[in-house]
């Protein structure tokens, strides 16, 4: 039995909070097909399985910043969040399937782990590219003024009207 959950749906629910890639309790509850309060209750009953590097509760200030970053600053709706959410790291998400103990949780968890793995590969690939670009930037750094000066000189050449030139060469007697 395989979950047909698209990776894009999972990846879109991974946020960076406290410099960690995390998923929020409400998004996980939706993916697992349970209510958020049920998920939180199961986590609270099994807190020994969720140390701070597996799961943490977002502060009110972090929640405010998260809403602003995600374009959901409407405090009236609260984006479905009445309480500060639990944030689960990759390890915390892996632990959740054992706490929820359902086939769906296990299948969805496999998809989530695949999404995290794909993101990690993409980040490593792009990290190499970013490092190379940083090296180029350092080599070219300080050249902006020189490049601007070259363009300025080129503009001057383009704008100068060409002065009429005298023809050179031999002239025939009938051409004067």
- Three-class SS of residue 39? helix
pLDDT of residue 168: 73
**Which tokens in the block code for residue 83?**
């309480």
Position of tokens 């405090």? 75
Q: How far apart are CA 84 and CA 63, in angstroms?
A: 7
Over the stretch 82-134, which tens digit does the pLDDT of each residue have? 778 999 999 999 888 888 888 888 888 888 888 888 887 877 777 777 777 77
* Residue 127, CB-side half-sphere exposure with 13 Å CA sphere: 6
For the whole model, what pTM was predicted?
0.62
Position of tokens 């639990």? 86
Backbone angles phi, psi at 23, to 5 degrees: -120, 145
Segment 63-75 shows an average pLDDT of 70
Is the distance from CB of 94 to CB of 109 less than 8 angstroms? yes
pLDDT of residue 1: 53
Query: How does residue 80 score in pLDDT terms, banded at 50, 70 and 90?
Result: low
- Three-class SS of residue 11? helix
């Amino acid at each position: 039995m395989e979950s047909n959950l698209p990776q894009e749906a999972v990846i879109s629910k991974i946020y960076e909070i406290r410099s960690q890639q995390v998923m929020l309790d409400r998004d996980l509850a939706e993916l697992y097909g349970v209510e958020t309060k049920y998920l939180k209750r199961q986590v609270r009953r099994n807190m020994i399985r969720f140390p701070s590097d597996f799961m943490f509760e977002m502060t009110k200030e972090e929640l405010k910043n998260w809403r602003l970053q995600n374009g959901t600053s409407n405090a009236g709706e609260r984006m479905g969040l009445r309480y500060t959410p639990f944030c689960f790291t990759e390890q915390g998400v892996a632990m959740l399937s054992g706490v929820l103990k359902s086939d769906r949780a296990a299948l969805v968890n496999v998809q989530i782990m695949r999404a995290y793995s794909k993101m990690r590969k993409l980040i490593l690939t792009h990290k190499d590219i970013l490092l190379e670009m940083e090296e180029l930037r350092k080599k070219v750094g300080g050249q902006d003024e020189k490049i601007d000066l070259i363009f300025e000189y080129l503009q001057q050449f383009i704008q100068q009207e060409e002065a009429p030139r005298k023809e050179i060469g031999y002239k025939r007697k009938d051409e004067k």
